[in-house]
Amino acid sequence: MAAVIEVEDLHYTYRDGTRALQGLSLSIPAGSRVALLGPNGAGKSTFLLHLNGLYLPQRGKVRVMGQEVNARTAREIKSRVGLVFQDPDDQVFSSTVGEDVAFGPVNMGLSATEVERRVQEALAAVQMEAYRDKPPYHLSYGQKKRVAIAGVLAMGPEIIVLDEPMAYLDPQGKDTLLDILDRLHRRGATILVATHDVDMAASWADRVIIIKNGRTLAQGDPSLLVQEDIIRQANLRFPLVAQIFRSLPELQLKTVPYTVEQAAALLKDILAGHRV
Ligand SMILES: Nc1ncnc2c1ncn2[C@@H]1O[C@H](COP(=O)(O)OP(=O)(O)O)[C@@H](O)[C@H]1O
Ligand SMILES: [Mg+2]
């Protein structure tokens, strides 16, 4: 499948000399659900800020839907890539929830009726319609996070990028967010999520990219999450499902399951007497 995001030898050094990205290369297929993993300080957020032109490559290339990100294209690319920051307080700033979600569509120059339609739809998607006239500073962190997501949804981006969206969400909030992401994915969006949550990555992603020290350590399907050397190098841990089966060496498994579905299929097999 065609790549919607292509990154080649990307370098980024902050003003204080911190080399956050040191030759990052990766590619993301259209319509995929990608988990971007890596230890703190690996360069995840720095990379994500390049995807909608907030940062421009100092060296190397970033292409979004075939278009190279540079000073000339940054504005257009921004409207095609929705970035949800890690901290909603960096994103949600209007005096009411409704105005905040309308901000992007209004700036896109859409008609008042179209803005209204998009605001309603986006607030419904994150189940925040009842909060439309409230000031965002009265909301809980998780609610603000949902407003930030609604603001991005309202712009109708083809690529949606979320920086550690699960942080500080309660279990139900996480489920709601996963439902929202699934709905967007079914509509054809490509979704990229930076996360530390290997269980979420194992169950949700169809592609995994692991970065460390500003470079790509590995990219491929989620079975990377049960490769011991990669997990160790990336300061990650095995998904819980995989941990159970790794604690049972007597099963002599060649491949360890990492999703609930894989584990259930294996257990059925074992119970039916086909194994061990
Ligand atoms: N504004 C900044 N100024 C200087 N250094 C920064 C800044 N933002 C991030 N860094 C540094 O860049 C590196 C990568 O950070 P970041 O992209 O936030 O990693 P991650 O999101 O994977 O935790 C880290 O060493 C971090 O301390
Ligand atoms: Mg970060």
pLDDT tens digits for range 28-60: 999 999 999 999 999 999 999 999 889 999 999
Q: How far is the CA of 43 from the centre of ligand 2 (A)?
A: 7
Name the 3-class secondary structure at 127: coil
Asked whether residue 1 carries a pLDDT value surpassing 80, the answer given is: no
> Which of residues 8 and 76 earns the better pLDDT score?
8
Whether residue 50 is contained in a domain is answered as yes
Angle in degrees, CA 113, 185, 52, rounded to 5: 70
Q: What tokens appear for 75 in the block?
A: 């504005």
Q: What is the pLDDT of residue 142?
A: 85
Does ligand 1 come within 6 angstroms of the Cβ of 211?
A: no
Q: How far is the CA of 190 from the centre of ligand 2 (A)?
A: 20
Same domain? 17 vs 66: yes
Length of the chain: 276
Does ligand 1 come within 6 angstroms of the Cβ of 40?
A: yes
**For 106-127, how does the pLDDT look when each residue is reduced to its tens digit (9 = 90+)?**
998 999 999 999 999 999 988 8
Q: Which atom of ligand 1 is nearest to the CA of 39?
A: 22
Q: How far is the CA of 246 from the centre of ligand 1 (A)?
A: 34
- Contact (CB, 8 A) for 241 and 259: yes
**For 24-36, how does the pLDDT look when each residue is reduced to its tens digit (9 = 90+)?**
999 999 999 999 9
Does ligand 1 come within 6 angstroms of the Cβ of 18?
A: yes
Confidence of residue 276 (pLDDT cuts 50, 70, 90): low
> Which of residues 1 and 272 earns the better pLDDT score?
272
- Residue 111 Cα to chain centre, angstroms: 30
Same domain? 194 vs 275: no
Q: Which atom of ligand 1 is nearest to the CA of 42?
A: 22
Q: What is the pLDDT of residue 100?
A: 95
- In what order do the strands lie in the sheet containing 3-13? 19-29, 3-13, 59-64, 67-68
Whether residue 129 is contained in a domain is answered as no
Range of the domain at 250: 238-276
Q: Whose CA is nearest to atom 18 of ligand 1?
A: 45
Does ligand 1 come within 6 angstroms of the Cβ of 20?
A: yes
Q: How far is the CA of 179 from the centre of ligand 1 (A)?
A: 30
Does ligand 1 come within 6 angstroms of the Cβ of 14?
A: yes
Q: What tokens appear for 103 in the block?
A: 């901000």
Q: What tokens appear for 185 in the block?
A: 């994915």
Same domain? 23 vs 77: yes
Name the 3-class secondary structure at 79: helix
Nearest Cα neighbor of 90 from 141, 16, 39 is 141
Q: How many CB atoms lie within 10 A of CB 133?
A: 10
We report the CATH number of the domain holding residue 46 as: 3.40.50.300
Q: What is d(CA 104, CA 189) in angstroms, rounded to the nearest whole number?
A: 18
Same domain? 22 vs 63: yes
Same domain? 77 vs 191: yes
Same domain? 68 vs 164: yes
Q: Which of 14, 87, 90 has most ligand 1 atoms within 8 Å of its beta carbon, as the pocket-test mutant?
A: 14
Same domain? 275 vs 166: no
Q: Whose CA is nearest to atom 3 of ligand 1?
A: 14
Same domain? 186 vs 232: yes
Q: What is d(CA 84, CA 128) in angstroms, rounded to the nearest whole number?
A: 17
Whether residue 108 is contained in a domain is answered as no
Same domain? 72 vs 29: yes
Ligand whose nearest atom lies closest to the CA of 42: 1
Q: What is the mean pLDDT of the chain?
A: 93
Nearest Cα neighbor of 47 from 74, 21, 22, 66 is 21
Asked whether residue 128 carries a pLDDT value surpassing 80, the answer given is: yes
Confidence of residue 183 (pLDDT cuts 50, 70, 90): confident
The structural domain count of the chain equals 2
Ligand whose nearest atom lies closest to the CA of 49: 1
Q: Where are the beta strands (DSSP E) in the chain?
A: 3-13, 19-29, 33-37, 59-64, 67-68, 81-84, 159-163, 190-194, 207-212, 215-220
Query: DSSP state, 168?
Result: T
Q: How far is the CA of 24 from the centre of ligand 1 (A)?
A: 14
Name the 3-class secondary structure at 155: coil
Asked whether residue 189 carries a pLDDT value surpassing 90, the answer given is: yes
Same domain? 74 vs 189: yes
Confidence of residue 92 (pLDDT cuts 50, 70, 90): confident
Ligand whose nearest atom lies closest to the CA of 167: 2
Q: Which atom of ligand 1 is nearest to the CA of 164?
A: 21
Q: What tokens appear for 203 in the block?
A: 């169950």
**For 217-270, how does the pLDDT look when each residue is reduced to its tens digit (9 = 90+)?**
999 999 999 999 999 999 999 999 999 999 999 989 989 999 999 999 999 999
* Alpha helix segments (H runs only) across 91-246: 97-107, 112-125, 141-153, 171-186, 198-204, 228-233, 240-246
